[in-house]
Amino acid sequence: MDTYMPMVRLGEPMRAGGIAQVIESKHPKYKPGDIINGLCGWQEYPVFEPNRADGVPPTKLPAHLDPALTLALSVTGLTAYFGLLDIGKPKPGETVLVSGAAGATGSIAGQIAKLKGCRVVGIAGGPDKCAWLTNTARFDAAIDYKNENVEARIGELCPKGIDVYFDNVGGEILDAALLHIAMHARVVLCGSISQYNVGDQSERYGIKNYNALTVNRGTAQGFIILDHLDRAVEGLLCLHKWVQDGKVVQEIDVQHGFENIPATLGRLFTGANLGKQILKVSDAPLPLRTSGIEKAVLAVLSAYYSRRA
Amino acid sequence: MDTYMPMVRLGEPMRAGGIAQVIESKHPKYKPGDIINGLCGWQEYPVFEPNRADGVPPTKLPAHLDPALTLALSVTGLTAYFGLLDIGKPKPGETVLVSGAAGATGSIAGQIAKLKGCRVVGIAGGPDKCAWLTNTARFDAAIDYKNENVEARIGELCPKGIDVYFDNVGGEILDAALLHIAMHARVVLCGSISQYNVGDQSERYGIKNYNALTVNRGTAQGFIILDHLDRAVEGLLCLHKWVQDGKVVQEIDVQHGFENIPATLGRLFTGANLGKQILKVSDAPLPLRTSGIEKAVLAVLSAYYSRRA
């Protein structure tokens, strides 16, 4: 959203992912009553034009999926799912390092890596988040970047080197991780939140250890979840099952009210949220029924952390 | 070699690729008279132990290949061949940018990209090298990094963005290129010669625009030619044919004499060489015959630019 801000023109809503129920449709694929997941924006009544060349068609969701959990997983969970599995390609026994590990994407990425038989080390800010990582999310170890020497701790906790680095933060921590990558390492460039609010290019942190990619025949690959949405339902079904079976913990931080959207976005930058940040635009319950409803209500809106499409 | 320097122990020869003729062999694959290409080192009489776990077995060369041309192509030509084709994966009509473009690797990489139907822009130092790129090596355009604004010129010469960036230099030019990558771009991290002689880590140039890889779903992949040597003969036969057919220009800068090896290595850092730098340890002609020869002579030794294995 930080990237979207300067792109949105006057009169347009801010972009954001959300879950909504269809009340009217001229498109054969979507029928009134369907629950959809799409770029709803900061608004109560989104209109989708799935056939527009520049439009991202909303995903029709299986009716049995819990809407709040689906929204919680729909962008950040899928980002973790496709980013870790398709870009990171972890193998059993490998070492996976995750930054922003207590966040919505990082916590899921680390837990999926555990399910795949990897040793998983997370980096997060503060002792509470680190304790949550090892006690609740079952990471093997955690590094507190606010109180520890990150580079030294990576060396201690990843003695065979990092096979997959799932990077949500960029900057200094990315540079430290590069010093410890193993042969043929994969660096998943998911985000660099540490650098988004640095206004001037000259103040941005420069990565000095990229030559480690050459020496170790490593790959750093960027990706955007929008490219993988054709397989969204596959990922959501899998993630739902893991959460329902207690194999993946998905914590949800719910805020309320349309007027609180900006303040809720701000929570991501102060680190106030633990787990996925969502916001209920209206407290009307989901699923809605169209019969007898005068107006549609977009019930849940995600103030998720997103990037330029 | 700059990387090897601190690794070599007293009494060991410096590492270097070379071409030699076998005079004695206890290995069934190699027979006296065979011409081999391998890590001969800075010495006249290399001994290979192909079965050692840490050894790189020398490549037995087809007898009809010209030895000097083979050596000229054997590391840097193969680096260009596998780096561009296997890592860069250029498609017809794409834009390929090459840094260090007048060098041994860059000039071949750019010419192969032309053969694959790409628009090719090279970056080199000084008007002479740039004129050589467009007039002799048939690049579409050249940027003189010593006299032009590299970032602005990349923008002008790559209006649709860079699909493949074959990077030999790293540093500021890599950062400028990242600002202009196209969607799904591939960055081939072949080397970063601009940073090798920067002693202190704090003085190294930091890459600030790596987030372009995320935004554009790009990939930056490092590689080392040693991993591809099992296919060396395939690459050499292909490169020989292109050179013999006049489709690829391979210029060779030959220096002479064992005692000149260090000074010859230095030529790569001052940019004195144009094209592949090799050195003849002995002026005895190749191919040598073992009958009647008292001692083997390693006839050609490559002071090639190499990296940590």
Task: Please indicate whether, in this complex, the C-beta atoms of A213 and B220 are within 8 angstroms of each other.
Answer: yes
Q: Which residue has the higher pLDDT, B194 or B81?
A: B81
pLDDT digits (tens, 9 = 90+) for A240-271: 999 999 999 998 888 888 889 889 988 888 87
Task: Please indicate whether, in this complex, the C-beta atoms of A208 and B204 are within 8 angstroms of each other.
Answer: yes
Least Cα distance to A56 among A72, A33, A74 occurs for: A74
Mean pLDDT across the stretch A125-147? 96
Q: What is the pTM of this model?
A: 0.79
CB atoms within 10 A of CB B177: 25
- List the single residue in B170, B211, B308 with the smallest CB-CB distance to A195: B211
pLDDT digits (tens, 9 = 90+) for A159-181: 999 999 999 999 999 999 999 99
Sign of CA dihedral A256, A283, A258, A168: positive
pLDDT exceeds cutoff 60 at A289:
no
- Domains belonging to chain B, first-starting first, are 5-63+251-301 (3.90.180.10), 76-225 (3.40.50.720)
Mean pLDDT across the stretch A12-30? 87
Percent of chain B residues past pLDDT 90, beyond the cut? 47
Q: For chain A, what is the mean pLDDT? A: 85
Mean pLDDT across the stretch A27-31? 90
Q: How far apart are CA B157 and CA B151, in angstroms?
A: 10
Q: How far apart are CA A121 and CA A109, in angstroms?
A: 11
Least Cα distance to B288 among B81, B45, B126, B97 occurs for: B45
- List the single residue in B189, B191, B215 with the smallest CB-CB distance to A307: B215
How deeply is A295 buried, as exposed, middle or buried, from its count of CB atoms within 10 A (0-12, 13-18, 19+)? exposed
Report angle CA B126, B170, B265 to the nearest 5 degrees.
65
pLDDT digits (tens, 9 = 90+) for B244-270: 999 999 988 888 888 898 899 888 888
Q: How far apart are CA B120 and CA B97, in angstroms?
A: 6
pLDDT exceeds cutoff 80 at A136:
yes
pLDDT-derived band at B46 (thresholds 50, 70, 90) equals confident
B228: CB partners within 8 A, 6+ apart: B78, B82, B86, B235
> Which pLDDT score, from 0 to 100, does residue A40 have?
85
pLDDT digits (tens, 9 = 90+) for A181-238: 999 999 999 977 666 666 676 778 999 999 999 999 999 999 888 888 889 889 999 9
| Residues forming a β-bridge with B38 | B18
Task: Please indicate whether, in this complex, the C-beta atoms of B206 and A207 are within 8 angstroms of each other.
Answer: yes
Alpha helices in B4-148 (DSSP H): 67-74, 76-82, 104-115, 127-135
> Which pLDDT score, from 0 to 100, does residue A303 have?
33
DSSP state of B241: H
What are the percentages of helix, strand and coil residues in chain A, rounded to 5?
Answer: 35, 20, 50
> Which pLDDT score, from 0 to 100, does residue B295 have?
30
Q: Cα distance from B187 to chain A (closest Cα, Å)?
A: 9
Q: What is the DSSP string of B181-223?
A: EEEEEEEEE---HHHHT--SGGGSPPB--THHHHHTT-EEEE-
pLDDT exceeds cutoff 50 at B302:
no
- List the single residue in B190, B211, B217 with the smallest CB-CB distance to A227: B217
Contacts of B207 in chain A (CB under 8 A): 206-208, 210
Distance of CA B68 to the CA centre of its chain: 15
Q: Is A307 on the interface with B (CB under 8 A)?
A: yes
> Which pLDDT score, from 0 to 100, does residue B301 have?
34
pLDDT exceeds cutoff 50 at A294:
no
pLDDT-derived band at B300 (thresholds 50, 70, 90) equals very low
Which residues 112-131 in chain B show a CB within 8 A of chain A? none
pLDDT exceeds cutoff 80 at A283:
no
pLDDT-derived band at B291 (thresholds 50, 70, 90) equals very low
pLDDT digits (tens, 9 = 90+) for B20-35: 888 888 889 999 888 8
How deeply is A241 buried, as exposed, middle or buried, from its count of CB atoms within 10 A (0-12, 13-18, 19+)? exposed
Q: Is A89 on the interface with B (CB under 8 A)?
A: no
> Which pLDDT score, from 0 to 100, does residue B270 have?
85
- Tokens, residue B18: 């070379």
> Which pLDDT score, from 0 to 100, does residue A290 have?
40
| Residues forming a β-bridge with B122 | B98, B142
- Tokens 């010495």 correspond to B43
Percent of chain A residues past pLDDT 70, beyond the cut? 86
Q: Is A7 on the interface with B (CB under 8 A)?
A: no
- Tokens, residue B252: 């060779």
pLDDT exceeds cutoff 90 at A145:
yes
Q: Is A195 on the interface with B (CB under 8 A)?
A: yes
- List the single residue in B190, B201, B216 with the smallest CB-CB distance to A222: B216
Q: For the ranges A56-65, A159-168, B98-107, which has the lowest average pLDDT?
A: A56-65
Task: Please indicate whether, in this complex, the C-beta atoms of B219 and A222 are within 8 angstroms of each other.
Answer: yes
pLDDT digits (tens, 9 = 90+) for A99-110: 999 988 999 999
pLDDT digits (tens, 9 = 90+) for A70-101: 888 888 899 999 999 999 999 999 999 999 99
pLDDT-derived band at B17 (thresholds 50, 70, 90) equals confident
Which residues 152-191 in chain B show a CB within 8 A of chain A? 170, 174-175, 189-191
Q: Which helix (H) or strand (E) holds A95?
A: strand A95-98
pLDDT exceeds cutoff 50 at A295:
no
> Which pLDDT score, from 0 to 100, does residue B50 have?
79
Q: For chain B, what is the mean pLDDT? A: 85
A103: CB partners within 8 A, 6+ apart: A76, A124, A168, A273, A275, A305
Task: Please indicate whether, in this complex, the C-beta atoms of B218 and A222 are within 8 angstroms of each other.
Answer: yes
pLDDT digits (tens, 9 = 90+) for B171-226: 999 999 999 999 999 999 997 766 666 666 677 899 999 999 999 999 999 988 88
pLDDT-derived band at B309 (thresholds 50, 70, 90) equals very low
pLDDT exceeds cutoff 60 at A306:
no
Q: How far apart are CA B287 and CA B293, in angstroms?
A: 12
Q: Is the peptide bond before B287 cis (omega within 30 degrees of 0)?
A: yes
- List the single residue in B191, B192, B215 with the smallest CB-CB distance to A308: B215
Percent of chain B residues past pLDDT 70, beyond the cut? 86
DSSP state of A125: S
> Which pLDDT score, from 0 to 100, does residue A271 have?
77
Q: Where are the beta strands (DSSP E) in chain B?
A: 18-21, 35-38, 59-60, 95-99, 119-124, 141-144, 162-167, 181-189, 219-222, 252-256, 276-280, 300-301
pLDDT-derived band at A138 (thresholds 50, 70, 90) equals very high
Mean pLDDT across the stretch B8-20? 85
